[in-house]
Amino acid sequence: MNTDIRRDIDLLEASTRPAKLETTPLPYGEKDLEPVLSKESLEYHYEHLAKGYAKRYNAGEGNENFNRAGSFLHNKFFPQLRAPKGANRPKGAVLALIEDKFKTYEDFREEFKKAAMAIQGSGWVYLSTAGTIKTIPNHQVRTDICVLVDWWEHSWALDYQADKERYLDNIWKIIDWDICNERL
């Protein structure tokens, strides 16, 4: 697809203001992400924070763009997670993209970690559908997300305290690469 056309579509999608937001239901149980994310962490993050963005947007409370983007990003983040089981490595189109841009999955993870650790304060880090690692300060709607990691303190603090690196090392154990492949 022509990059100018894709850019125009991305801008249009990002500027669309839905009348009502909904939070995507979790495709797993509240304990299914343990030990990577505890039941308490998931409950707080999903039930109070993620759902709170949609609730405030729908009630016309707070900053409309902030709440919309927060809801949007969480609706990308939570569905791409799955219960940890066995080796969890990318496959299919995501693996091909990673190997094309970073040579190995391990090299990709190192570059991803560098980008994440460089974020001052809160934000998000993601692999774009074009194969670049990008960050999102605060909340912003992005239409080129392949793999998304929440880098706000509430994502890791209950389970990992100040050890953000350990959170990131463990999050790869619960990424559902099939969902990420669907985004390409």
Q: Is the pLDDT of residue 76 over 60?
A: yes
Distance of alpha carbon 124 from alpha carbon 145, whole angstroms? 11
Range 10-37 average pLDDT: 83
Give me the sheet containing 133-137, strands edge to edge.
133-137, 123-128, 145-150
Query: Which tokens belong to 131?
Result: 């194969």
Range 38-58 average pLDDT: 95
Range 101-108 average pLDDT: 97
CA–CA distances in Å: residue 124 to residues 40, 58, 74, 168: 21, 23, 10, 12
Distance of alpha carbon 58 from alpha carbon 20, whole angstroms? 6
